Structure 1
Amino acid sequence: MCLSIPVRIESIEGSEAVVSINGATYKAGIHLIDNLKIGDYVLLHAGFAIQKISDEEARETLEIIKQMNNVNRKL
């Protein structure tokens, strides 16, 4: 099973981007996806952007992850 998380592209330089989630930033390889721009959301897996997703899908997924974290804190 693979797990990827939605991240927002903050800057692009060549085939690498700085991406962010919840205030943390990471470097990601973006050579698997064409025509990305700053502000786009992508799914990040093992340091690589593997799929572009809509803003709405990213927000929904991040909300689900947030809810799962809240449940785990209560256990």
Structure 2
Amino acid sequence: MCLALPVKVIEVGRGPAGEMGLVDLGGVKKEISLALLDDVQVGDYVILHAGYALSLLDPEEAERTLALFADMNEPPVAAA
């Protein structure tokens, strides 16, 4: 099973050739490759899969998706 996640770019220009970036997903920070994309900026959202940013993502869509993931992590509410 493969899973690609939206992540927020918090730093660009890392690595010897500047092809790496730092992203944040719920407080977890990870260095990833930005080599497949052009013009990624701090604050952009990208789709991350296997350590590579695959595409830019609309910020509103990214926030909705991240909210859904957060909701899945909430315990169910018992009916009274």
Rg: which structure is higher?
2
TM normalised by structure 1 equals 0.88
Amino acid at match of 1:53: L
Identical columns (%): 36
- Per-residue CA deviations over 1:50-71 (Å, capped at 9, x if unaligned) read 110011011000011111122x
5 Å-filtered alignment, 1:16-27, equals 16-27=20-31
Give the deviation of 1:19 after TM superposition. 0.4
Does residue 68 of the first structure (1) align with residue 72 of the second (2)?
A: yes
Aligned position for 1:11: 11
TM normalised by structure 2 equals 0.83
Considering fraction of residues, name the structure with more helix.
1
Q: Where do 5+ consecutive residues of structure 2 fail to align?
A: none
> Size of the alignment, in residue pairs?
72
Runs of 4+ residues deviating >2 angstroms: none
